[in-house]
Amino acid sequence: MNKKTRTLTLTAILIAITLLFGFTPIGYIQTPFGIVITLMCLPVIIGTLTLGWKAGLALAALFAVTSIAKIPSDVFGPTLLAADPVLLMVNIIVPRLLIPLVVALVYRVMHTKRELLNIGVAAVAGSLTNTVLYLGFLYAFFSGIVASGIIISVALLNGIIEAVVAALLCPPIVRALRKTVPPLGRGASAKQTAAE
């Protein structure tokens, strides 16, 4: 199997995982308190660090699509949609699309010789990008609907759990996948791949 075929295969696998996560309870874990913990950032981060930011952006867009599909079943979704559908779309889409850009940028500026640390920091940055921006927009756009106490609780619970999961899972997975799908382009480095 040549490099192009391996790259296409990995892309297809990450798309399938994103869809599986998006449309099953695996990707959106509902807590008893109505707070949802999401693992949807993981395929986006992994895709960005193995295939480049453009592939990551495509996976992030798919993440956004699954989030939109979840609106009717979300605790606040129907209320927020009725209040302002345009701002709700901004609230959902923009944080997702910024994940791969932040991951690629942070990874590119990391200069330590410990590759797992570089990947871990980039993964945490990507996870926090989604959490902080989503909740920040939620507060800015819908603070009259969603209590600030709930937003703070979600930020503390989700933000910490999702960042820790990203930090623990992404480095070994990315390192293993890079052995299967080497950096894109002849002589390309892993950092160049993330930036492509």
**Residue ranges covered by each domain of the chain:** 3-195
Beta strands in 11-152 (DSSP E): 28-30, 36-38
d(CA 187, CA 196): 14
Instruction: Check residue 182 and give its pLDDT.
Output: 66
Contact 118, 45 (CB under 8 A): no
The whole-angstrom distance between residue 163's C-alpha and the CA centroid of its chain comes to 10
Architecture of domain 3-195: Orthogonal Bundle (1.10)
Q: What are phi and psi of 80, to 5 degrees?
A: -65, -35
Instruction: Check residue 186 and give its pLDDT.
Output: 39
Instruction: Check residue 183 and give its pLDDT.
Output: 58
Low-confidence residues of the chain, pLDDT below 50?
Answer: 184-188
Instruction: Check residue 30 and give its pLDDT.
Output: 77
